A = this chain, B = another copy of it.
């Protein structure tokens, strides 16, 4: 047996070995450091590893890329449907139906639209098939679209539209678009698309099971509806699996339990981490840990609603995005932790779980804040991070000696 003896230096300890000559090991506290792998990405949104050296990276404002992480070579994937339009620069006042932040008055900005998530088919090695979410445009109206396609010679082929949750309406925020696969089902987050809550009167969009928005969907990998879909009620949109969700982007499977965890943007605070449950109503906008943007807003509610609580919410605005569970070896004390990037504050959060409870939350990289869109683990367990910047970057997070 190895026995802990004593600690001599800050951040280190010694191991004493009783069964052979004594040796020492300096065990250092985690010292995460961002190693730059790629830059000049156009607001990258997601990354899907083909293997340890190769990945697809979706740039929200330009291309879906196939990237060699060693040679740094980039190959734009051709053949996207014509309803995708990037770079998506808009004049805010032209596209927003009513109020919008006055700070944006008359300005042209990159929309929260373009190419969003990309993930591999479980049999990608055989069929070269991927799933992509992007924002589809018809004139000055928009809706989320999820397609699957085979990648052949860096071009999409055999494109199938799996979900196109309308209606097409103006407004360039909160499309959702998060994708993950569990047990040969495709899960999709669909945002409610509003900036101010009272853009919709009466029953809120996310509470309305006959409106396709503000929900999470579960489909078979060919886009068909699973036979065991939850019964959400009369007139509910086929494939809708849970609802009452404002703007979820990050969705991932927890290794071990195989539960699906997702992040959700609130308005003013109200950012949450949730566990997905079939048929659950997560309460937006009728209940929130944050504050509505519309003062005096009084939403209608369903009759006798049952709302499902989040596993965690912040008391500050974080804007949590593409989250991932860590199972690598580089940070031994982080094993099983949930890593959550943030656009607004806290480039990277590390959440420690006990069962399904989040028992501690560490904000990493304080003082070097960046808008962080996605964290993802490579097949070998290395942790990567994408930044939502004009000069977007891919970092590998290493444990610096």
Contacts and interface: CB of A to CB of B under 8 A. Distances in A.
Interface of A: 1-2, 4, 6-7, 9-13, 15, 17, 19-21, 23-25, 27-30, 256, 312, 314-317, 327, 329, 332-336, 345, 350, 352, 357-367
A27 B207 CA distance: 46
Contacts of A30: 333
Interface centre among A312, A332, A350 (most CB of B within 10 A): A332
Nearest to A336: B10
Given A317-B315, A333-B27, A335-B12, A366 B362 contact: no
A29 B335 contact: yes
18 contacts: A6-B329, A9-B335, A10-B336, A11-B335, A11-B336, A12-B335, A19-B23, A27-B27, A27-B332, A29-B333, A30-B333, A312-B366, A333-B333, A357-B367, A359-B366, A360-B364, A360-B365, A361-B363
A25 B17 CA distance: 10
A367 to B, nearest CB: 6
Contacts of A316: 314-316
A29 to B, nearest CB: 4
B361 A365 contact: no
A116 to B, nearest CB: 27
Contacts of A10: 256, 327, 335-336
A398 to B, nearest CB: 14
Contacts of A352: 29
A310 to B, nearest CB: 12
